[in-house]
Amino acid sequence: MLTTKHHNHFYFITRIITFLLIFYSFSSNSLALPNDQNKVAYINADQAMLNRKIGINIFTGHVKFDQGTTHVSANKIVTYSNKQRKVTKMIAYGDPHHLAHYQTVPKLHQKPLDAWAVVIKYFPKQRVAYLIKDAVAIQKPNTFKGPIIRYDMTNQVVQSYAQKAHHTTIILHPDQIPK
């Protein structure tokens, strides 16, 4: 017989697995349409500092980034590039009152995926994104919330990390639950 503690743990694990199956259906192999990376990128900010020598670019103040169906808005965006000028890391910073926002269309004919957090870190080569502090990911009608969310796009794995006094919340609509 399962104790209440074990029953709650089993229920939690079952819900996480269900969410992962649904989240998997959110996207294809990338978080954005495949041809987005070949589109022109537009960045609008109050200030910009580009340093090609060390490969760090800093955009501050009402930053908006648009490339195809991918859009990022934040108080500050910092990109890090290698010697070949390929972005290796992008960090979007918001604050508790104005979260950084990421939106993309994961796959043709799918609803947009929206993600918010105080900090959004993206590592293109590893295809991993971290939503840090007050993290929310929504692809209507489903919602995933947690203190820290890690999304491995290659393996289609979503993880939420526990923190003191913070829990993960998953809202799944019945018609979206795999049978």
Q: What is the DSSP letter of 153?
A: T
Q: Give pLDDT tens digits along the chain (179 positions).
A: 445 544 444 444 444 443 433 333 333 333 455 566 667 778 899 999 989 899 999 999 999 988 888 889 999 999 998 888 888 899 999 999 999 998 877 667 777 878 999 999 988 778 788 999 999 988 777 788 888 888 776 676 777 776 666 666 655 566 655 55
Q: Is 110 exposed, middle or buried (0-12, 13-18, 19+ CB in 10 A)?
A: middle
Give the C-alpha distances (Å, rounded to integers) separating 141 from 40, 106, 172. 31, 15, 7
Q: Domains of the chain, with CATH numbers? A: 4-176 (2.60.450.10)
Give residue 11's pLDDT. Answer: 44
DSSP state of 34: G
Left if phi > 0, otherwise alpha if psi is -120 to 50, otherwise beta: which for 9? alpha
The single-letter DSSP state of residue 39 is: S
